[in-house]
Amino acid sequence: MWRFTQPVKHKLPATVWPSADEASRSRLFSPIDIGPIRLDERTWVPAMVPWRATDDGFVTDDNLDWYGRFAGGRPGAIVVEATGVRDIPSGPLLRIGHDRFIPGLKRLVDRVRQESNGHTRLFIQIIDFLSVRRRPDPAKFFARFLELNDRHRGALERITGDETWSRADDDRVRAFLSTAPDDILDAVLDERELESLRFGYRERVTDTHFEHIRNLPEVLPGMFADAADRAREAGFDGVELHYAHAYTMASFLSARNTRDDGYGGARENRARLPLEVFRAVRERVGADYVVGCRYLGDDVIEGGNRLDDAVYFGRRFAEAGFDFLSISKGGKFEDAKQPKVGHAVYPYTGRSGYECMPTVLSDENGPFGRNVPLASAIRRAIRADGFQTPVVTAGGIGTFELAESILANGEADIVGLARQALADPDWFEKVRTGHGADVRRCEFTNYCEGLDQMHKQVTCKLWDRIDLDELGVPRSEDGRRRLVAPKWQPTDE
């Protein structure tokens, strides 16, 4: 996890919770229309991958329990975790790249309807990502993965002054490089080869010399449209196109996208594929189905998008007819920390990752509502253009007071609580019914995110060891943690 050099430790702010009557008159608990549907309230549980799918991408009972538990608090909407649009192995992440996934996803929809008595709207976040390999053992990298060519031999000849390198066979070059110090490797390998060695091989949308990357604009609109169609068939209220963080669509939007085929470079070109994907999805699911997206208000990486790019994209997306825009921040590979050998690079370990899931060890601005200004600027620009597209914000929001003030100030239309909902899925019910004092407040220290990084089932440190012997409580693979928060009994009943 990335840290500020001189972090300021912020305390959770003291807060006043509303009575049930005040809550019922609040903006937060008032309805809002998203395209053709209505949310009962302006609360939202943003997508969170809990690492509970089967290895081949199917919904498990643990997934049902996870989403069922959130639905029990009856938030306005829940967004199901990033779910792959391709039908390719991708570990225990949900997939929607084939019809065989529909029955499991239907069960998930049913469970949320049942637990929320039909109050919570359910969206699914659909994602494409490119290949990321684990950081290799250097011996293997030099013996097998590195593709040798004359550039390597020429560099060796130059550095050592030994001209026999130009005729050296592969075994000799590989053997030499496998024991060479860093400064030699820096001079012999190119930037991508060094990255593959030190971080693990990672594809980019700019690798257009590969056919499958060059063809992304041809294949992705259809894949997203098929996935959205399946989401509709499974009974979801809508789809959230994942245009954020470290993944394919965000990389098309990013200012670091230098593709020269009309899909990179200038902003309008970078927006082209995201808009084509949207149109294909819209055409497939029709006007009466919610199609929104999550994208970045700031990439937080050198050479990446800043707020002015995000404002431009927001205006184009609103104009194109997206039903909502959910604004996130950062979460990129480019500034991620070097993983250990055998581990994959994780896009939440650098500064951009900090900004995505800010903690209480922060700068003077602190983590609370830290990303609201991004949503606010985007919302202002699209309102000025005459569009009423709802804007969702998230990031360090844990109190009613903060959520309500964001709405009162016109900074966003809907307030997302990810980690706070994980810490206490009953937050919504408690606050709505005047039991805010019972809220288990998220401490924003990211134990949950640490589990995500290790690809372990995500839980919250505030409840995962409580009442472990409770009958029927689902537990983590090692049996040491409960997988869902304990039940809440109102104190005055």
Among 46, 84, 292, 366, binds ligand FMN (CB under 6 A): 46
DSSP code per residue over 60-107: -HHHHHHHHHHHHT--SEEEEEEEESS-S--SSS-B-SSGGGHHHHHH
Q: Which does 461 bind (CB under 5 to 8 A by kind): ligand SF4, ligand FMN, none?
A: ligand SF4
Q: Which does 462 bind (CB under 5 to 8 A by kind): ligand SF4, ligand FMN, none?
A: ligand SF4
Q: How far is the CB of 460 from ligand SF4 (least distance, A)?
A: 3
Question: Is 125 near ligand FMN (CB under 6 A)?
Answer: yes
Per-residue buried b or exposed e for 270-286, using 16+ beta carbons within 10 Å of the residue's own CB:
bbbbbbbbbebbbebbe
> What phi, psi does 398 have (nearest 5°)?
-135, -10
Q: Tell me the C-alpha distance between 234 and 95, whole Å.
A: 13
Q: Which does 81 bind (CB under 5 to 8 A by kind): ligand SF4, ligand FMN, none?
A: ligand FMN
Please give the residues from 423 up to 462 whose contact with ligand FMN meets the rule CB under 6 A: 448-449, 452, 458
Q: Which is nearer to ligand FMN, 335 or 449 (CB)?
A: 449
Q: How far is the CB of 326 from ligand FMN (least distance, A)?
A: 8
Considering only CA atoms, which of 156, 331, 326 is closest in space to residue 238? 326
**Separation of CA 310 from chain center:** 17
Q: Tell me the C-alpha distance between 116 and 113, whole Å.
A: 5
Q: Which does 82 bind (CB under 5 to 8 A by kind): ligand FMN, ligand SF4, none?
A: ligand FMN
Instruction: Write the binding mask 380 to 399 for ligand FMN: x where contact by CB under 6 A, - elsewhere.
Output: --------------xxxx--
Question: Is 418 near ligand FMN (CB under 6 A)?
Answer: yes
Residues 6+ apart with CB under 8 A from 339: 134, 135, 199, 200, 345, 346
Please give the residues from 312 up to 351 whose contact with ligand FMN meets the rule CB under 6 A: 328
By CB atoms closer than 10 A (0-12, 13-18, 19+), residue 235 is middle
Considering only CA atoms, which of 105, 96, 125, 106 is closest in space to residue 59? 105
Q: Which is nearer to ligand FMN, 12 or 180 (CB)?
A: 12
Q: Which does 394 bind (CB under 5 to 8 A by kind): ligand SF4, ligand FMN, none?
A: ligand FMN
Q: How far is the CB of 216 from ligand FMN (least distance, A)?
A: 20
Q: Tell me the C-alpha distance between 135 and 384, whole Å.
A: 47
- Helix H or strand E segment including 290: strand 290-296
DSSP code per residue over 309-363: HHHHHHHHHHHHT-S-EEEE----STTPPPPPTTS---TTSSHHHHHHS--SEE-
Can you name the residues that pair with 33 across neighbouring β-strands? 38
Considering only CA atoms, which of 454, 47, 393, 85 is closest in space to residue 248? 85
Q: Which is nearer to ligand SF4, 295 or 463 (CB)?
A: 463
Q: Which does 447 bind (CB under 5 to 8 A by kind): ligand FMN, ligand SF4, none?
A: ligand SF4
**Which CA distances in Å does 98 have to 57, 206, 279, 284, 325?**
10, 27, 21, 16, 26
**Site size for ligand FMN, by CB under 6 A?**
25
Q: Which is nearer to ligand SF4, 1 or 132 (CB)?
A: 1
Please give the residues from 232 up to 261 whose contact with ligand FMN meets the rule CB under 6 A: 244
Q: Which is nearer to ligand SF4, 34 or 448 (CB)?
A: 448
Q: Which does 109 bind (CB under 5 to 8 A by kind): ligand FMN, ligand SF4, none?
A: none
Q: Which does 460 bind (CB under 5 to 8 A by kind): ligand SF4, ligand FMN, none?
A: ligand SF4
Q: Which is nearer to ligand FMN, 177 or 448 (CB)?
A: 448
Among 47, 173, 205, 391, binds ligand FMN (CB under 6 A): 47
CB 312 within 8 A of CB 356: no
Question: Is 124 near ligand FMN (CB under 6 A)?
Answer: no
Q: Which is nearer to ligand SF4, 12 or 155 (CB)?
A: 12
Considering only CA atoms, which of 108, 102, 101, 184 is closest in space to residue 142? 184
Find the helix packing angle between 216-234 and 102-115, rounded to 10°. Answer: 50
DSSP 8-state class, residue 7: P
CB 394 within 8 A of CB 406: no
Q: How far is the CB of 294 from ligand FMN (least distance, A)?
A: 5
Q: How far is the CB of 444 from ligand SF4 (least distance, A)?
A: 5
Q: How far is the CB of 451 from ligand SF4 (least distance, A)?
A: 8
Considering only CA atoms, which of 235, 226, 222, 221 is closest in space to residue 289? 235
Q: How far is the CB of 68 from ligand FMN (least distance, A)?
A: 18
Q: Which is nearer to ligand FMN, 271 or 394 (CB)?
A: 394
Name the residue type at position 230. Answer: R
Task: Please give the residue ranges that form the binding site for ligand SF4 (CB under 6 A).
Answer: 419, 422-423, 442-448, 460-462
Q: Which does 417 bind (CB under 5 to 8 A by kind): ligand SF4, ligand FMN, none?
A: ligand FMN
Instruction: Write the binding mask 286 to 315 for ligand FMN: x where contact by CB under 6 A, - elsewhere.
Output: --------x---------------------
Q: How far is the CB of 429 from ligand SF4 (least distance, A)?
A: 17
Can you give the binding site for ligand FMN, defined by CB under 6 A? 46-49, 81-82, 125, 244, 294, 328, 356-357, 394-397, 416-420, 448-449, 452, 458
